[in-house]
Amino acid sequence: MTGDELDWWSILRALDEPGAPPEDIRLEPMLQALDEPIASGQGDGLEVPRDFDYVATQARFDRLVERLSESYGCPCDSGLAQDSACFGSVWIPGEASRSRTKRTRIPLRLSVSVSKFGGLATYGPHTPCGQVAHVHPQDRQRIEEVLDRLGYLVVPGHVLTAPYDGPNGWVFGPTTNATWFTRFFDYL
């Protein structure tokens, strides 16, 4: 592990507030443990950090959509996530991006996702099944500049695809191959 990766693990672990597992870990109590704090308005469930500010997060997300649309010269679609640690995603049309599939050179739609935790963000291509694709350096620069200006912390894909070994593993169960992406950007 490099020094940069050690920093990422410290950052992710610091944001990963432990949630106590229910005494009887069956599906229904697990769902209650996830939903109860949020339903009671406490905002400290596993999907939402204790210090979550919905209004500020929504305003910053709206600015992200606006600035990506400006940067790419076209409207970018966006959507908010439910029952997820992800706040929302912005989709950059394939026609506007420089990213292509490796073999067939098909234009790729890009996705930028924002977590509810610590201003984390990640991005990547949407590829047809079985296609290998990378984000073009010009797309990478555009997206990262916009995210940086808005104060988001861009987490590299190789960090997010690492196996999840944080304090909330009980949520995912013993047979799930959860990753750090699962914890901070996926449905819980």
In a domain, 75, yes or no: yes
Closest CA to 185 of 83, 108, 52: 83
pLDDT at 175: 67
Ordered per-residue pLDDT tens for the chain, 188 residues: 444 555 888 889 889 877 766 554 444 444 444 444 444 444 456 888 888 999 999 999 999 999 999 999 999 999 999 889 999 999 999 999 999 877 777 888 999 999 999 899 999 997 666 566 789 999 999 999 999 999 999 999 889 999 998 888 888 877 678 999 999 999 87
Q: Is residue 5 part of a domain?
A: no
Q: What is the model's pLDDT at position 134?
A: 84
Residue 31 is assigned to a structural domain of this protein: no
pLDDT of residue 23: 55
- Residue 58 covered by a domain: yes
Look up the pTM and report it.
Answer: 0.82
Distance, CA of 110 to CA of 124 (rounded, Å) = 6
Q: Does a structural domain hold residue 29?
A: no
For residue 78, give every residue at least 6 positions away whose Cβ sits within 8 Å of its Cβ, in sequence order, or none.
61, 65, 88, 89, 90, 91
Tell whether 142 is covered by a domain.
yes
Q: Which residues pair with 133 in a beta bridge?
A: 101
Residues of the domain holding 167: 53-185
Examine residue 104 and state whether it is found in any structural domain, yes or no.
yes
The pLDDT value recorded for residue 188 is 76
Residue 127 placed within a domain: yes
Number of domains in the chain: 1
